[in-house]
Amino acid sequence: MHSFLLYRKPGYQHSEMVLLSAVDAQTVPTPDQPLFVFAGFEADVRLHLFRMTNARGETDIKDVDAVLKKNLTLAPEISADSKKHYLNAVESAIKNFDTTVFTKVVLSRRATYPAKGISYLSTFAELSRRYPDTMVFLMYSPETGCWMGATPERLLYGDNKEIHSMSLAGTRLTIDPTPWADKELEEQKIVTAYIEEVFSSTYHTISIKKNGPYEVTAGPVKHLRTDISGTLPVMPHWLQLALQLHPTPAVLGSHHTKAKEFIKKYEGYDRSYYTGFFGFWNFDSADFYVNLRSMQVFDDQVILYAGAGITAGSDAESEWRETELKMQTLLSVLV
SS (H, E, C) the chain: CCCEEEEECCCCCCCEEEEEEEECCCCCCECCECEEEEECCCCCCCEEEEEEEECCCHHHHHCHHHHHHHHCCCCCCCCCCCHHHHHHHHHHHHHHCCCCCCCEEEEEEEEEEECCCCCHHHHHHHHHHHCCCCEEEEEEECCCEEEEEEECCEEEEEECCEEEEEEEEEEEECCCCCCCCHHHHHHHHHHHHHHHHHHHHHCCCCEEEEEEEEEEEECCEEEEEEEEEEECCCCCCHHHHHHHHCCCCCCCEECHHHHHHHHHHHCCCCCCCCCCEEEEECCCEEEEEECCCEEEECCCEEEEEEEEEEECCCCHHHHHHHHHHHHHHHHCCCC
Quick one: pLDDT at residue 82? 85
Question: 136 with 279: CB under 8 angstroms?
Answer: no
Measure the CA dihedral 84/294/37/105, to 10°.
-30
80 has a pLDDT exceeding 70: no
* Over residues 189-206, mean pLDDT: 87
Quick one: pLDDT at residue 237? 93
Amino acid identity for residue 75 in this structure: A
Question: 281 with 34: CB under 8 angstroms?
Answer: yes
pLDDT digits (tens, 9 = 90+) for 259-295: 999 999 999 899 999 999 999 999 999 999 999 999 9
Quick one: pLDDT at residue 54? 87
pLDDT digits (tens, 9 = 90+) for 85-97: 999 999 999 999 9
Task: Kindly report the number of other CB atoms within 10 A of residue 79's CB atom.
Answer: 10
Quick one: pLDDT at residue 171? 85
Please tell me which residue, 334 or 6, carries the higher pLDDT value.
6
- Domains in the chain with CATH codes: 4-331 (3.60.120.10)
The overall average pLDDT reported for the chain is 92
Q: Pairing relation of β-strands 4-8 and 35-39?
A: unpaired
pLDDT bin (cut points 50, 70, 90) of residue 81 is low
pLDDT digits (tens, 9 = 90+) for 226-262: 999 999 888 999 999 999 999 999 999 988 999 999 9
Quick one: pLDDT at residue 1? 64
pLDDT bin (cut points 50, 70, 90) of residue 20 is very high
* Over residues 122-147, mean pLDDT: 96
pLDDT digits (tens, 9 = 90+) for 27-65: 999 999 999 999 999 999 999 999 999 887 776 888 999
Poorest-pLDDT segment among 143-157, 195-209, 222-236, 288-302: 195-209
Please tell me which residue, 93 or 1, carries the higher pLDDT value.
93
Quick one: pLDDT at residue 99? 77
208 has a pLDDT exceeding 70: yes
User: What is the C-alpha separation between 52 and 191, in angstroms, rounded?
Assistant: 32
Quick one: pLDDT at residue 205? 66
pTM: 0.95
pLDDT digits (tens, 9 = 90+) for 167-181: 998 888 889 999 998
pLDDT bin (cut points 50, 70, 90) of residue 202 is confident
Q: Which residues contact 87 (CB under 8 A, 6 or more apart)?
A: 316, 317, 320
